[in-house]
């Protein structure tokens, strides 16, 4: 079981869906509505994984990922997004994300978190 997971998405229903998807995999689940909040929560809680959306209000997910990775190079950030084109995948990789999953393939999130699929299989 994972120690903790941080869910970062500005849509409440998506966070609820992600929470349901990973609820049995983590002792603690933290939630944020934007990247700026995620940077603060990551620094305080140091979750095992961050599931990060890209498009959000105050700070987007790519910027938040860059901030988290700059401070905590071992952080594991998985981009979970509707924007699954190659340009976004490349941008996520450049930001430091170690996995990239399209929201229409959420079962891959669970597979990566449980080790059934390694991040390189969905690597950025």
Tell me: pLDDT of 13 over 90.
yes
Tell me: pLDDT of 89 over 90.
yes
Residues 33-53: tens digit of each pLDDT: 999 999 999 999 999 999 999
Bridge partners of 49?
Answer: 5
pLDDT at residue 23 in the model: 96
Domains belonging to the chain, first-starting first, are 2-122 (3.40.50.2300)
Which residues lie closer than 8 Å to 45 by C-beta, 6 or more apart? 4, 6, 28, 30
CA distances from residue 17 to 2, 13, 48, 81, 103 in whole angstroms, order as listed? 18, 6, 19, 13, 11
């Amino acid at each position: 079981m994972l120690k903790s997971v941080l869910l970062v998405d500005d849509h409440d229903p998506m966070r609820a869906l992600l929470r349901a998807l990973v609820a049995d995999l983590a002792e603690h689940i933290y939630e944020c509505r934007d990247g700026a909040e995620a940077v603060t929560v990551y620094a305080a809680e140091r979750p095992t994984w961050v599931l990060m959306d890209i498009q959000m209000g105050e700070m987007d997910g790519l910027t938040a990922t860059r901030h988290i990775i700059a401070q905590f190079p071992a952080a594991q950030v998985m981009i979970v997004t509707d924007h699954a084109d190659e340009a976004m995948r490349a941008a996520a990789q450049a930001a430091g994300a170690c996995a990239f999953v399209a929201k229409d393939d959420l079962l891959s999130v669970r597979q990566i978190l449980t080790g059934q699929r390694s991040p390189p299989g969905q690597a950025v």
